[in-house]
C-alpha cells in the first residue's frame, strides 16, 4: 500500500500505510512543503509515525506523529475507522506514540509546512580522541541554536578498525544564517573533514540510506537523555575504544530539546518522552553469523555505561529483549489511558508484536 498524494492548497498529504519516508519527502518537496520524518529514506512511514517519529526537523516541527491530522485504521474487529481529533479521538490519541497496538493504519493524513529545499548541512569529522572536547562544546553550543538548526553527534568504529567522531549540523532557513550558525562549530577545532555546505534537504535525507541499507544483521539499543553530560560522552567514547570486532559499531546522539517536541505536553498524545534533551542509540551492523553473539554482547556492555544517564527509551528502537515491566514504565503516566484504549479497540491483544500495551489491566 504505497502512494503519497499532496494537496498543496490545504497543505496536507494523504499517505498510504506502506509508504516510505523518501516518497513523502520527495512528493512534499515538489510543492515546497515538508512534514518532519526520520533520517533514512527507506524507513516506513507506518511504524515510524505510530511510534513517534524522530528526525532532523523534530526541533522545528515536532515528532512525525504530532503532524498527523487523521488516520484510516482497521481495528481488531475488522472495522475501518476514521481517527482524528473529532472522530474516535481516543484511538487517534493512542495511535500517536502507541505504535502498532491498535490496528492497521491504511492511510495517514499529514499537515505540511512551507519549506525551502536548500539547507546548510554536513558533517565535521574528528579523530576519536577529540570527541570529549568537541562533543562537550557542540552540546553547549547546540543548546543556544534556534529550532531551525539541530546537531547530531556520532562515534564510530568502522569494520577496518578506524575510530572517528563526527558532528552533523543542519540549518533550514536563510543560507547566510546557516553559514553563520555553523561557523563556531567549524572553528572550534580543526576537523579531519568538513562537509558543511549548501545542499538540498532530500539529499541530506538520503545520505545514510546505503550505510543503513537492508540485507545485513543489525542490533540497536538506546534511550532518551534528560540532558547531555560529560559522563555519558566518556562512557560512549570508552565503549567505542573497546570495540574490536571487524564490523560497524556506532553510538549516536541526536538533539531534541528546546524545540517543538517539548512544547506538546506528555498527555496530549500517547508519546510520553517529551522532556528528552537527546535521543541516543547504538547501531551495529555485520554480515557474518559468527559475529552475532559478540556484537550483541558488546552492545549490552556498552549500554551498561550509558544507561545510567538515560531516562526511558524510544519504542521504535526497542530491542526484543526488553521486559514488559520496562515497556509499562516507559509509557509512564500515559499507560492507564493506553490500557483503556487497548481494551476498547483490541481486547484480545491481536496486535502484540510491538511495545505492547496489555489489555487486561484495569478492564
Ligand X SMILES: Cc1cc2nc3c(=O)[nH]c(=O)nc-3n(C[C@H](O)[C@H](O)[C@H](O)COP(=O)(O)OP(=O)(O)OC[C@H]3O[C@@H](n4cnc5c(N)ncnc54)[C@H](O)[C@@H]3O)c2cc1C
Which residues of this protein are in contact with ligand X, per CB under 6 A? 17, 38-40, 43-44, 46-48, 50-55, 99-100, 104-105, 212, 316-317, 353-354
Those residues with Cβ within 8 angstroms of residue 10's Cβ, 6 or more apart along the chain or in another chain: none
In angstroms, what is the minimal distance from the CB of 114 to ligand X? Answer: 23
Q: Look-up: residue for cell 560529560?
A: 230
Q: Are 270 and 94 in contact (CB under 8 A)?
A: yes
In angstroms, what is the minimal distance from the CB of 175 to ligand X? Answer: 25
Measured from the CB atom, the residue of 88 and 354 that comes closer to ligand X is 354
Q: How far apart are CA 361 and CA 261, in angstroms?
A: 29
Residue nearest to ligand X (CB): 47
Measured from the CB atom, the residue of 191 and 357 that comes closer to ligand X is 357
In angstroms, what is the minimal distance from the CB of 204 to ligand X? Answer: 12
Measured from the CB atom, the residue of 96 and 191 that comes closer to ligand X is 96
In angstroms, what is the minimal distance from the CB of 179 to ligand X? Answer: 25
CA-angle at 162, arms to 158 and 164, nearest 5°: 85
Q: How far is CA 104 from CA 73, 83, 95, 346, in A?
A: 5, 12, 10, 11
Measured from the CB atom, the residue of 191 and 261 that comes closer to ligand X is 261
Measured from the CB atom, the residue of 165 and 357 that comes closer to ligand X is 357
Helix (H) or strand (E) run with residue 126 in it? strand 118-127
In angstroms, what is the minimal distance from the CB of 317 to ligand X? Answer: 6
CB atoms within 10 A of CB 305: 17
- Helical spans, DSSP H, in 194-249: 201-206, 230-241
Amino acid at each position: 500500500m504505497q502512494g503519497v498524494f499532496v494537496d498543496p492548497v490545504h497543505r496536507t498529504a494523504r499517505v498510504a500505510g506502506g509508504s516510505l519516508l523518501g516518497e513523502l519527502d520527495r512528493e512534499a518537496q515538489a510543492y515546497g512543503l515538508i512534514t518532519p520524518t526520520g533520517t533514512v529514506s527507506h524507513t516506513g512511514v507506518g511504524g515510524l509515525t505510530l511510534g513517534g517519529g524522530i528526525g532532523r526537523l523534530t526541533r522545528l516541527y515536532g515528532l512525525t506523529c504530532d503532524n498527523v491530522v487523521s488516520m484510516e485504521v482497521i481495528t481488531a474487529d475488522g472495522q475501518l475507522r476514521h481517527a482524528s481529533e473529532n472522530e474516535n479521538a481516543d484511538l487517534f490519541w493512542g495511535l500517536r506514540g502507541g505504535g502498532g497496538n491498535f490496528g492497521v493504519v491504511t492511510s495517514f493524513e499529514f499537515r505540511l509546512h512551507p519549506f525551502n529545499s536548500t539547507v546548510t548541512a554536513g558533517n565535521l569529522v574528528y579523530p576519536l580522541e577529540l570527541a570529549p572536547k568537541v562533543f562537550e562544546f557542540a552540546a553547549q553550543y547546540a543548546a543556544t541554536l534556534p529550532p531551525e538548526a539541530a546537531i547530531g553527534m556520532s562515534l564510530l568504529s568502522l569494520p577496518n578498525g578506524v575510530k572517528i567522531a563526527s558532528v552533523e549540523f543542519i540549518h533550514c532557513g536563510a543560507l547566510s544564517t546557516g553559514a553563520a550558525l555553523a561557523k563556531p562549530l567549524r572553528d572550534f577545532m580543526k576537523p579531519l573533514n568538513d562537509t558543511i555546505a549548501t545542499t538540498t534537504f532530500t539529499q541530506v535525507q538520503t545520505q545514510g540510506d546505503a550505510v543503513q541499507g537492508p540485507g545485513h544483521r543489525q542490533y540497536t539499543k538506546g534511550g532518551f537523555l534528560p540532558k547531555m553530560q560529560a559522563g555519558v560522552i566518556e562512557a560512549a567514547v570508552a565503549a567505542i575504544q573497546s570495540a574490536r570486532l571487524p564490523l560497524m559499531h556506532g553510538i549516536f546522539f541526536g538533539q531534541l530539546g528546546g524545540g517543538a517536541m517539548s512544547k506538546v505536553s506528555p498527555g496530549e498524545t500517547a508519546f510520553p518522552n517529551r522532556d528528552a534533551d537527546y535521543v541516543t542509540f547504538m547501531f551495529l551492523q555485520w554480515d557474518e553469523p559468527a559475529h552475532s553473539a559478540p556484537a550483541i554482547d558488546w552492545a549490552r556492555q556498552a549500554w551498561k555505561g550509558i544507561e545510567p544517564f538515560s531516562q526511558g527509551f524510544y519504542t521504535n528502537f526497542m530491542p526484543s529483549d526488553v521486559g514488559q515491566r520496562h515497556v509499562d514504565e516507559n509509557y509512564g503516566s500515559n499507560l492507564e489511558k493506553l490500557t483503556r484504549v487497548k481494551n476498547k479497540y483490541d481486547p484480545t491483544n491481536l496486535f502484540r508484536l510491538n511495545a505492547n500495551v496489555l489489555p487486561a489491566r484495569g478492564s
